[in-house]
Structure 1
Amino acid sequence: MSETIIEATAIKKTLGRGAGEVQALRGVDLALRRGELTLLMGPSGSGKTTLLLVLGCMLAPSSGILTVCGTPTSGVDKEGLAKIRRDHIGFVFQSYHLFPTLTAAQNVRLAVDIRGEHGRKAKKEARKALSMVGLEQKADTLPGELSGGEQQRVAIARAFVANPSVILADEPTAALDGNNGRTIMRILADTAHQRERAVLVVTHDPRVIPFADRIVEIEDGLLVGTESGGPERLHFPKTAAFRP
Protein backbone atom coordinates (compact mmCIF):
# COMPACT_ATOMS: atom_id res chain seq x y z
CA MET A 1 0.00 0.00 0.00
CA SER A 2 1.22 3.53 -0.81
CA GLU A 3 2.55 5.77 1.92
CA THR A 4 -0.11 7.74 3.80
CA ILE A 5 0.67 11.47 3.73
CA ILE A 6 -2.34 12.86 5.62
CA GLU A 7 -4.55 10.82 7.95
CA ALA A 8 -7.72 12.14 9.57
CA THR A 9 -9.38 10.09 12.30
CA ALA A 10 -12.81 10.86 13.81
CA ILE A 11 -12.57 14.50 12.73
CA LYS A 12 -15.37 16.78 13.90
CA LYS A 13 -15.67 20.49 13.22
CA THR A 14 -18.26 22.89 14.64
CA LEU A 15 -18.70 26.29 13.01
CA GLY A 16 -20.47 29.28 14.54
CA ARG A 17 -21.92 29.69 18.00
CA GLY A 18 -25.25 29.62 19.75
CA ALA A 19 -28.27 29.51 17.48
CA GLY A 20 -25.99 29.71 14.44
CA GLU A 21 -23.86 26.71 15.41
CA VAL A 22 -23.41 24.11 12.67
CA GLN A 23 -21.63 20.79 12.93
CA ALA A 24 -19.87 20.86 9.56
CA LEU A 25 -17.96 17.59 10.08
CA ARG A 26 -19.38 14.80 12.20
CA GLY A 27 -16.64 12.21 12.56
CA VAL A 28 -14.63 11.85 9.35
CA ASP A 29 -11.96 9.22 8.72
CA LEU A 30 -9.86 9.79 5.59
CA ALA A 31 -6.33 8.95 4.44
CA LEU A 32 -4.56 10.62 1.51
CA ARG A 33 -1.88 8.43 -0.04
CA ARG A 34 1.17 9.15 -2.16
CA GLY A 35 0.66 8.54 -5.88
CA GLU A 36 -3.14 8.77 -5.70
CA LEU A 37 -5.61 11.37 -6.94
CA THR A 38 -8.67 11.37 -4.70
CA LEU A 39 -11.92 13.18 -5.48
CA LEU A 40 -14.01 14.44 -2.57
CA MET A 41 -17.51 14.91 -3.96
CA GLY A 42 -20.77 16.06 -2.46
CA PRO A 43 -23.52 18.68 -2.72
CA SER A 44 -23.14 22.29 -1.64
CA GLY A 45 -22.99 22.55 2.14
CA SER A 46 -21.92 18.93 2.62
CA GLY A 47 -18.64 19.85 4.36
CA LYS A 48 -16.24 19.42 1.42
CA THR A 49 -14.36 22.68 1.76
CA THR A 50 -14.38 22.55 5.57
CA LEU A 51 -12.70 19.15 5.41
CA LEU A 52 -10.12 20.41 2.91
CA LEU A 53 -9.26 23.33 5.19
CA VAL A 54 -8.90 21.00 8.17
CA LEU A 55 -6.69 18.61 6.19
CA GLY A 56 -4.61 21.59 5.08
CA CYS A 57 -4.14 22.84 8.67
CA MET A 58 -6.05 26.04 7.88
CA LEU A 59 -8.82 25.13 10.33
CA ALA A 60 -8.28 23.26 13.58
CA PRO A 61 -10.68 20.34 14.14
CA SER A 62 -13.02 20.58 17.12
CA SER A 63 -12.06 17.00 17.94
CA GLY A 64 -10.32 14.04 16.36
CA ILE A 65 -6.74 13.37 15.24
CA LEU A 66 -5.01 14.81 12.19
CA THR A 67 -1.56 13.59 11.19
CA VAL A 68 0.54 15.14 8.41
CA CYS A 69 3.62 13.21 7.26
CA GLY A 70 3.61 11.31 10.54
CA THR A 71 3.29 14.41 12.73
CA PRO A 72 0.10 14.87 14.82
CA THR A 73 -1.18 18.44 14.63
CA SER A 74 -2.98 18.53 17.96
CA GLY A 75 -1.31 20.99 20.32
CA VAL A 76 0.78 22.55 17.55
CA ASP A 77 0.76 26.36 17.71
CA LYS A 78 0.04 28.72 14.78
CA GLU A 79 3.70 28.99 13.81
CA GLY A 80 4.05 25.22 13.86
CA LEU A 81 0.97 24.77 11.69
CA ALA A 82 2.29 27.39 9.26
CA LYS A 83 5.53 25.41 9.01
CA ILE A 84 3.60 22.18 8.28
CA ARG A 85 1.70 23.97 5.51
CA ARG A 86 4.87 25.52 4.11
CA ASP A 87 6.84 22.26 4.14
CA HIS A 88 4.20 19.72 3.10
CA ILE A 89 1.02 21.23 1.59
CA GLY A 90 0.22 23.03 -1.65
CA PHE A 91 -3.17 24.68 -2.21
CA VAL A 92 -5.09 25.32 -5.43
CA PHE A 93 -8.37 27.27 -5.30
CA GLN A 94 -11.13 28.00 -7.79
CA SER A 95 -10.49 31.76 -7.71
CA TYR A 96 -6.72 31.41 -8.38
CA HIS A 97 -5.65 34.01 -5.73
CA LEU A 98 -3.02 35.60 -7.98
CA PHE A 99 -1.69 39.09 -7.31
CA PRO A 100 -2.75 41.21 -10.31
CA THR A 101 0.31 43.48 -10.26
CA LEU A 102 2.80 40.58 -10.23
CA THR A 103 3.84 38.55 -13.27
CA ALA A 104 3.19 34.83 -13.49
CA ALA A 105 6.75 34.08 -12.42
CA GLN A 106 6.56 36.54 -9.52
CA ASN A 107 3.31 34.97 -8.30
CA VAL A 108 4.95 31.54 -8.32
CA ARG A 109 8.06 32.89 -6.59
CA LEU A 110 5.96 33.93 -3.59
CA ALA A 111 5.80 30.28 -2.52
CA VAL A 112 9.60 30.10 -2.72
CA ASP A 113 10.12 33.40 -0.93
CA ILE A 114 8.23 32.28 2.18
CA ARG A 115 10.77 29.47 2.54
CA GLY A 116 13.51 32.08 2.68
CA GLU A 117 14.88 31.39 -0.80
CA HIS A 118 15.52 34.45 -2.96
CA GLY A 119 17.52 35.65 -5.92
CA ARG A 120 18.59 33.58 -8.90
CA LYS A 121 17.64 30.22 -7.39
CA ALA A 122 14.09 31.38 -6.65
CA LYS A 123 13.71 32.69 -10.21
CA LYS A 124 14.98 29.41 -11.63
CA GLU A 125 12.56 27.35 -9.53
CA ALA A 126 9.61 29.55 -10.50
CA ARG A 127 10.34 29.24 -14.21
CA LYS A 128 10.84 25.49 -13.87
CA ALA A 129 7.42 25.17 -12.20
CA LEU A 130 5.81 27.25 -14.95
CA SER A 131 7.48 25.02 -17.54
CA MET A 132 5.92 21.97 -15.88
CA VAL A 133 2.46 23.41 -16.53
CA GLY A 134 3.35 24.55 -20.05
CA LEU A 135 3.56 28.27 -19.30
CA GLU A 136 7.27 29.09 -19.36
CA GLN A 137 6.63 31.49 -22.26
CA LYS A 138 4.13 33.39 -20.09
CA ALA A 139 6.51 33.93 -17.17
CA ASP A 140 6.58 37.71 -17.56
CA THR A 141 2.84 38.09 -18.22
CA LEU A 142 0.42 39.68 -15.76
CA PRO A 143 -2.62 37.62 -14.61
CA GLY A 144 -5.03 40.01 -16.35
CA GLU A 145 -3.44 39.10 -19.67
CA LEU A 146 -3.90 35.36 -19.11
CA SER A 147 -6.96 33.21 -19.76
CA GLY A 148 -8.78 31.57 -16.85
CA GLY A 149 -7.16 28.24 -17.63
CA GLU A 150 -3.71 29.83 -17.76
CA GLN A 151 -4.28 31.58 -14.44
CA GLN A 152 -5.24 28.26 -12.86
CA ARG A 153 -2.08 26.68 -14.26
CA VAL A 154 -0.03 29.48 -12.65
CA ALA A 155 -1.81 28.74 -9.36
CA ILE A 156 -0.91 25.05 -9.71
CA ALA A 157 2.72 25.93 -10.46
CA ARG A 158 2.77 28.05 -7.31
CA ALA A 159 1.27 25.15 -5.33
CA PHE A 160 3.97 22.65 -6.24
CA VAL A 161 7.04 24.89 -6.69
CA ALA A 162 7.89 24.24 -3.03
CA ASN A 163 7.77 20.47 -3.68
CA PRO A 164 4.95 19.68 -1.21
CA SER A 165 3.95 16.15 -0.27
CA VAL A 166 0.26 16.81 -0.92
CA ILE A 167 -1.78 19.08 -3.20
CA LEU A 168 -5.24 20.15 -1.99
CA ALA A 169 -7.40 21.60 -4.77
CA ASP A 170 -10.79 23.21 -4.09
CA GLU A 171 -13.08 23.23 -7.17
CA PRO A 172 -10.13 23.77 -9.58
CA THR A 173 -12.24 23.24 -12.74
CA ALA A 174 -15.52 24.88 -11.73
CA ALA A 175 -14.90 28.14 -13.62
CA LEU A 176 -13.30 26.51 -16.66
CA ASP A 177 -14.53 25.15 -19.99
CA GLY A 178 -13.96 21.56 -21.08
CA ASN A 179 -10.56 22.02 -22.73
CA ASN A 180 -9.08 24.00 -19.84
CA GLY A 181 -10.65 21.70 -17.28
CA ARG A 182 -9.12 18.68 -18.98
CA THR A 183 -5.70 20.37 -19.01
CA ILE A 184 -5.92 21.16 -15.29
CA MET A 185 -6.97 17.61 -14.38
CA ARG A 186 -4.18 16.10 -16.48
CA ILE A 187 -1.65 18.24 -14.62
CA LEU A 188 -3.07 17.21 -11.24
CA ALA A 189 -3.17 13.53 -12.26
CA ASP A 190 0.44 13.72 -13.46
CA THR A 191 1.38 15.37 -10.16
CA ALA A 192 -0.06 12.36 -8.31
CA HIS A 193 1.16 9.57 -10.58
CA GLN A 194 4.46 10.79 -12.01
CA ARG A 195 5.66 13.02 -9.18
CA GLU A 196 4.39 10.64 -6.47
CA ARG A 197 2.33 13.20 -4.59
CA ALA A 198 -0.98 12.81 -2.78
CA VAL A 199 -3.64 14.92 -4.54
CA LEU A 200 -7.11 15.71 -3.22
CA VAL A 201 -9.59 17.47 -5.51
CA VAL A 202 -12.74 18.80 -3.85
CA THR A 203 -15.48 19.11 -6.46
CA HIS A 204 -19.12 18.70 -7.37
CA ASP A 205 -18.19 18.50 -11.07
CA PRO A 206 -18.75 14.93 -12.38
CA ARG A 207 -16.65 15.66 -15.48
CA VAL A 208 -13.46 15.13 -13.48
CA ILE A 209 -14.30 11.52 -12.54
CA PRO A 210 -12.21 9.89 -15.32
CA PHE A 211 -9.04 11.29 -13.75
CA ALA A 212 -9.63 9.92 -10.24
CA ASP A 213 -8.08 6.89 -8.62
CA ARG A 214 -10.60 7.07 -5.79
CA ILE A 215 -13.86 8.89 -5.19
CA VAL A 216 -14.99 9.74 -1.67
CA GLU A 217 -18.52 11.04 -1.21
CA ILE A 218 -19.52 13.33 1.65
CA GLU A 219 -22.98 14.33 2.79
CA ASP A 220 -24.05 16.32 5.86
CA GLY A 221 -20.54 16.20 7.28
CA LEU A 222 -20.15 12.42 7.00
CA LEU A 223 -18.38 10.26 4.43
CA VAL A 224 -21.06 8.09 2.88
CA GLY A 225 -19.11 6.04 0.37
CA THR A 226 -15.79 5.35 -1.35
CA GLU A 227 -15.39 3.93 -4.86
CA SER A 228 -12.75 3.55 -7.53
CA GLY A 229 -12.64 6.28 -10.17
CA GLY A 230 -12.17 6.16 -13.91
CA PRO A 231 -14.41 6.44 -16.99
CA GLU A 232 -16.55 3.48 -15.92
CA ARG A 233 -18.01 5.63 -13.13
CA LEU A 234 -19.53 8.17 -15.54
CA HIS A 235 -23.30 8.47 -15.23
CA PHE A 236 -23.84 11.07 -17.95
CA PRO A 237 -23.13 11.40 -21.70
CA LYS A 238 -19.42 10.94 -22.34
CA THR A 239 -19.40 14.03 -24.55
CA ALA A 240 -19.69 16.04 -21.31
CA ALA A 241 -16.65 14.48 -19.71
CA PHE A 242 -13.11 15.72 -19.29
CA ARG A 243 -11.79 12.58 -20.96
CA PRO A 244 -8.09 11.93 -20.25
Structure 2
Amino acid sequence: MNDYVVEAKSVEKTLGRGAGEVHALRGVDLALRRGELTLLMGPSGSGKTTLLLVLGCMLTPSSGSVTVCGTPTADADKEALARIRREHVGFVFQSYHLFPTLTATQNVQLALDIRGEHGGRAAQKSRDALAMVGLEQKVDSLPGGLSGGEQQRVAIARALVANPSVVLADEPTGALDGKNGQSIMRILADTAHERERAVLVVTHDPRVVPYADRIVEIEDGLIVQERTDRPRMPTAVPFRA
Protein backbone atom coordinates (compact mmCIF):
# COMPACT_ATOMS: atom_id res chain seq x y z
CA MET A 1 0.00 0.00 0.00
CA ASN A 2 1.28 3.45 -0.91
CA ASP A 3 1.73 5.48 2.27
CA TYR A 4 1.87 8.75 0.34
CA VAL A 5 -1.30 10.80 0.86
CA VAL A 6 -0.20 13.91 -1.05
CA GLU A 7 2.56 14.04 -3.66
CA ALA A 8 3.92 17.16 -5.36
CA LYS A 9 6.32 16.78 -8.27
CA SER A 10 8.28 19.59 -9.93
CA VAL A 11 5.74 22.13 -8.67
CA GLU A 12 6.24 25.74 -9.69
CA LYS A 13 3.98 28.64 -8.76
CA THR A 14 4.17 32.19 -10.05
CA LEU A 15 2.16 34.89 -8.30
CA GLY A 16 1.32 38.31 -9.71
CA ARG A 17 2.16 39.76 -13.10
CA GLY A 18 4.61 42.13 -14.70
CA ALA A 19 6.84 44.02 -12.30
CA GLY A 20 5.04 42.41 -9.36
CA GLU A 21 5.59 38.85 -10.55
CA VAL A 22 7.01 36.51 -7.88
CA HIS A 23 8.28 32.97 -8.44
CA ALA A 24 7.00 31.60 -5.15
CA LEU A 25 7.82 27.94 -5.88
CA ARG A 26 10.64 26.83 -8.18
CA GLY A 27 10.29 23.09 -8.81
CA VAL A 28 9.29 21.54 -5.49
CA ASP A 29 9.12 17.79 -4.89
CA LEU A 30 7.42 16.80 -1.62
CA ALA A 31 5.42 13.80 -0.45
CA LEU A 32 3.36 13.61 2.75
CA ARG A 33 3.05 10.19 4.32
CA ARG A 34 0.30 8.79 6.52
CA GLY A 35 1.36 8.45 10.15
CA GLU A 36 3.96 11.22 9.89
CA LEU A 37 4.09 14.82 11.13
CA THR A 38 6.18 16.94 8.78
CA LEU A 39 7.37 20.44 9.61
CA LEU A 40 7.85 22.87 6.72
CA MET A 41 10.20 25.57 7.92
CA GLY A 42 11.78 28.61 6.32
CA PRO A 43 12.05 32.39 6.54
CA SER A 44 9.25 34.78 5.68
CA GLY A 45 8.65 34.83 1.93
CA SER A 46 10.26 31.45 1.35
CA GLY A 47 7.11 29.90 -0.15
CA LYS A 48 5.88 27.92 2.88
CA THR A 49 2.26 29.02 2.83
CA THR A 50 2.09 28.98 -0.96
CA LEU A 51 3.21 25.35 -0.94
CA LEU A 52 0.67 24.46 1.74
CA LEU A 53 -2.14 26.01 -0.31
CA VAL A 54 -1.01 24.17 -3.44
CA LEU A 55 -0.88 20.85 -1.56
CA GLY A 56 -4.37 21.54 -0.20
CA CYS A 57 -5.78 22.37 -3.66
CA MET A 58 -6.50 25.97 -2.67
CA LEU A 59 -4.03 27.15 -5.33
CA THR A 60 -3.23 25.44 -8.61
CA PRO A 61 0.43 25.13 -9.59
CA SER A 62 1.73 27.01 -12.61
CA SER A 63 3.47 23.80 -13.63
CA GLY A 64 4.19 20.40 -12.13
CA SER A 65 1.71 17.98 -10.59
CA VAL A 66 -0.10 17.37 -7.31
CA THR A 67 -1.79 14.08 -6.44
CA VAL A 68 -4.12 13.70 -3.45
CA CYS A 69 -5.02 10.18 -2.29
CA GLY A 70 -4.18 8.83 -5.71
CA THR A 71 -6.21 11.45 -7.59
CA PRO A 72 -4.25 13.74 -9.97
CA THR A 73 -5.42 17.35 -9.72
CA ALA A 74 -3.93 18.71 -12.95
CA ASP A 75 -7.14 18.56 -14.99
CA ALA A 76 -9.57 19.13 -12.12
CA ASP A 77 -11.95 22.08 -12.38
CA LYS A 78 -12.95 24.25 -9.40
CA GLU A 79 -15.79 21.93 -8.42
CA ALA A 80 -13.57 18.85 -8.52
CA LEU A 81 -10.88 20.59 -6.46
CA ALA A 82 -13.50 21.62 -3.90
CA ARG A 83 -14.64 17.99 -3.69
CA ILE A 84 -11.06 16.82 -3.06
CA ARG A 85 -10.71 19.38 -0.28
CA ARG A 86 -14.01 18.33 1.30
CA GLU A 87 -13.21 14.64 1.19
CA HIS A 88 -9.52 14.58 2.05
CA VAL A 89 -8.12 17.82 3.51
CA GLY A 90 -8.45 19.51 6.90
CA PHE A 91 -7.04 23.03 7.32
CA VAL A 92 -5.84 24.77 10.50
CA PHE A 93 -4.78 28.43 10.41
CA GLN A 94 -3.09 30.77 12.87
CA SER A 95 -6.11 33.08 13.08
CA TYR A 96 -8.61 30.26 13.93
CA HIS A 97 -11.38 31.49 11.53
CA LEU A 98 -14.19 30.86 14.02
CA PHE A 99 -17.62 32.48 13.70
CA PRO A 100 -18.13 34.64 16.81
CA THR A 101 -21.91 34.07 17.04
CA LEU A 102 -21.67 30.26 16.83
CA THR A 103 -20.89 27.92 19.71
CA ALA A 104 -17.85 25.67 19.65
CA THR A 105 -20.04 22.76 18.56
CA GLN A 106 -21.65 24.80 15.78
CA ASN A 107 -18.27 26.01 14.53
CA VAL A 108 -17.03 22.43 14.29
CA GLN A 109 -20.26 21.26 12.69
CA LEU A 110 -19.74 23.67 9.78
CA ALA A 111 -17.17 21.22 8.41
CA LEU A 112 -19.88 18.56 8.29
CA ASP A 113 -22.56 20.89 6.92
CA ILE A 114 -20.56 21.47 3.73
CA ARG A 115 -20.33 17.70 3.33
CA GLY A 116 -24.09 17.28 3.59
CA GLU A 117 -24.11 15.93 7.15
CA HIS A 118 -26.73 17.60 9.34
CA GLY A 119 -28.89 17.05 12.39
CA GLY A 120 -28.27 15.31 15.67
CA ARG A 121 -25.67 12.86 14.40
CA ALA A 122 -23.53 15.69 13.03
CA ALA A 123 -23.87 17.60 16.30
CA GLN A 124 -22.76 14.53 18.26
CA LYS A 125 -19.77 13.98 15.98
CA SER A 126 -18.83 17.63 16.56
CA ARG A 127 -19.06 17.23 20.35
CA ASP A 128 -16.96 14.07 20.13
CA ALA A 129 -14.31 15.96 18.14
CA LEU A 130 -14.22 18.68 20.79
CA ALA A 131 -13.83 16.05 23.50
CA MET A 132 -10.92 14.57 21.55
CA VAL A 133 -9.05 17.89 21.86
CA GLY A 134 -9.92 18.31 25.54
CA LEU A 135 -12.88 20.70 25.23
CA GLU A 136 -15.79 18.54 26.35
CA GLN A 137 -16.69 21.20 28.93
CA LYS A 138 -16.73 23.99 26.31
CA VAL A 139 -19.10 22.60 23.69
CA ASP A 140 -21.66 25.39 24.18
CA SER A 141 -19.16 28.25 24.59
CA LEU A 142 -18.86 31.10 22.10
CA PRO A 143 -15.37 31.95 20.78
CA GLY A 144 -15.36 35.17 22.79
CA GLY A 145 -15.50 33.11 25.98
CA LEU A 146 -12.53 30.95 25.01
CA SER A 147 -8.81 31.57 25.35
CA GLY A 148 -6.56 31.62 22.30
CA GLY A 149 -5.43 28.06 22.96
CA GLU A 150 -9.01 26.87 23.30
CA GLN A 151 -10.03 28.61 20.08
CA GLN A 152 -7.21 26.90 18.23
CA ARG A 153 -8.36 23.54 19.60
CA VAL A 154 -11.85 24.26 18.28
CA ALA A 155 -10.28 24.96 14.89
CA ILE A 156 -8.38 21.65 15.06
CA ALA A 157 -11.56 19.79 16.03
CA ARG A 158 -13.26 21.33 12.99
CA ALA A 159 -10.38 20.17 10.78
CA LEU A 160 -10.56 16.62 12.18
CA VAL A 161 -14.30 16.04 12.51
CA ALA A 162 -14.74 14.80 8.92
CA ASN A 163 -11.81 12.40 9.30
CA PRO A 164 -9.57 13.90 6.57
CA SER A 165 -6.66 12.04 5.05
CA VAL A 166 -4.29 14.99 5.51
CA VAL A 167 -4.20 17.93 7.94
CA LEU A 168 -2.45 21.10 6.77
CA ALA A 169 -1.69 23.58 9.55
CA ASP A 170 -0.33 27.07 8.82
CA GLU A 171 1.50 28.56 11.83
CA PRO A 172 -0.91 26.90 14.32
CA THR A 173 1.16 27.96 17.35
CA GLY A 174 2.10 31.43 16.08
CA ALA A 175 -0.33 33.33 18.31
CA LEU A 176 0.04 31.09 21.37
CA ASP A 177 2.29 30.95 24.41
CA GLY A 178 4.60 28.00 25.00
CA LYS A 179 2.25 25.87 27.08
CA ASN A 180 -0.67 26.24 24.68
CA GLY A 181 1.62 25.75 21.70
CA GLN A 182 2.83 22.45 23.13
CA SER A 183 -0.76 21.32 23.69
CA ILE A 184 -1.61 22.08 20.07
CA MET A 185 1.44 20.23 18.77
CA ARG A 186 0.64 17.23 20.97
CA ILE A 187 -2.82 17.03 19.37
CA LEU A 188 -1.36 17.27 15.87
CA ALA A 189 1.29 14.64 16.65
CA ASP A 190 -1.38 12.30 18.01
CA THR A 191 -3.43 12.91 14.87
CA ALA A 192 -0.51 11.71 12.77
CA HIS A 193 0.59 8.78 14.91
CA GLU A 194 -2.60 7.45 16.49
CA ARG A 195 -5.07 8.28 13.71
CA GLU A 196 -2.61 7.46 10.91
CA ARG A 197 -3.07 10.76 9.11
CA ALA A 198 -0.54 12.83 7.19
CA VAL A 199 0.08 16.11 9.00
CA LEU A 200 2.00 19.09 7.62
CA VAL A 201 2.77 22.03 9.91
CA VAL A 202 4.11 25.23 8.36
CA THR A 203 6.05 27.12 11.00
CA HIS A 204 9.03 29.27 11.82
CA ASP A 205 8.74 28.39 15.55
CA PRO A 206 11.76 26.30 16.64
CA ARG A 207 9.90 25.24 19.80
CA VAL A 208 7.77 22.78 17.80
CA VAL A 209 10.72 20.89 16.29
CA PRO A 210 10.67 18.07 18.90
CA TYR A 211 7.22 17.00 17.70
CA ALA A 212 8.29 16.41 14.10
CA ASP A 213 9.00 13.11 12.41
CA ARG A 214 10.53 14.99 9.48
CA ILE A 215 11.71 18.56 8.96
CA VAL A 216 11.67 20.08 5.48
CA GLU A 217 13.42 23.42 4.96
CA ILE A 218 12.45 25.75 2.13
CA GLU A 219 14.20 28.90 0.92
CA ASP A 220 13.36 31.06 -2.09
CA GLY A 221 10.79 28.55 -3.31
CA LEU A 222 13.17 25.58 -3.23
CA ILE A 223 13.44 22.64 -0.83
CA VAL A 224 16.99 22.92 0.46
CA GLN A 225 17.09 20.22 3.14
CA GLU A 226 15.13 17.33 4.66
CA ARG A 227 16.05 15.72 7.95
CA THR A 228 14.62 13.39 10.56
CA ASP A 229 16.98 14.10 13.46
CA ARG A 230 15.46 16.32 16.13
CA PRO A 231 15.45 16.70 19.94
CA ARG A 232 13.36 14.34 22.05
CA MET A 233 9.67 15.19 22.28
CA PRO A 234 8.68 16.92 25.54
CA THR A 235 6.55 15.05 28.03
CA ALA A 236 2.79 15.35 27.58
CA VAL A 237 1.34 18.73 28.45
CA PRO A 238 -2.21 18.78 29.88
CA PHE A 239 -4.88 20.64 27.96
CA ARG A 240 -4.90 24.00 29.68
CA ALA A 241 -5.48 27.48 28.38
TM-score, with structure 2 as normaliser: 0.96
Matched AA of 1:106:
Q
Shift of 1:115: 0.7
The 5 Å alignment of 1:38-117 reads 38-117=38-117
CA distance in 1, matches of 2:46, 2:230: 23
CA distance in 1, matches of 2:230, 2:35: 15
Aligned equivalent of 1:226: 226
CA distance in 2, matches of 1:82, 1:242: 37
Equivalent position SS for 1:35: coil
CA RMSD of aligned residues (A): 1.3
Aligned equivalent of 2:6: 6
- What runs of 5+ residues in structure 1 fail to find an aligned partner? 233-240
CA distance in 1, matches of 2:6, 2:112: 23
CA distance in 1, matches of 2:150, 2:15: 34
CA distance in 1, matches of 2:10, 2:229: 24
CA distance in 1, matches of 2:188, 2:121: 25
Query: Do 1:37 and 1:212's aligned partners in 2 also have CA atoms closer than 8 Å?
Result: yes
CA distance in 2, matches of 1:113, 1:135: 21
Matched AA of 1:60:
T
CA displacement, residues 111-152 of structure 1 (integer Å, 9 cap, x when unaligned): 011110110110110000000000011000000100000000
Aligned pair count reads 236
Structure 1 pair 243/219, CA: closer, same or farther in 2 (3 Å)? farther
- What runs of 5+ residues in structure 2 fail to find an aligned partner? 237-241
Aligned equivalent of 1:217: 217
Aligned equivalent of 1:28: 28
Equivalent position SS for 2:137: helix
Shift of 1:153: 0.1
CA distance in 1, matches of 2:143, 2:21: 38
Matched AA of 1:159:
A
CA distance in 1, matches of 2:120, 2:133: 21
Shift of 1:242: 6.3
CA displacement, residues 12-57 of structure 1 (integer Å, 9 cap, x when unaligned): 0000000100000000000000000000000000000000000000
Seq. identity, %:
77
Query: Do 1:217 and 1:225's aligned partners in 2 also have CA atoms closer than 8 Å?
Result: yes
Aligned equivalent of 1:171: 171
Aligned equivalent of 2:153: 153
Equivalent position SS for 2:74: coil
Aligned equivalent of 1:195: 195
CA distance in 2, matches of 1:2, 1:149: 35
Aligned equivalent of 1:136: 136
Query: Do 1:56 and 1:168's aligned partners in 2 also have CA atoms closer than 8 Å?
Result: yes
CA distance in 2, matches of 1:18, 1:93: 30
CA distance in 2, matches of 1:29, 1:206: 23
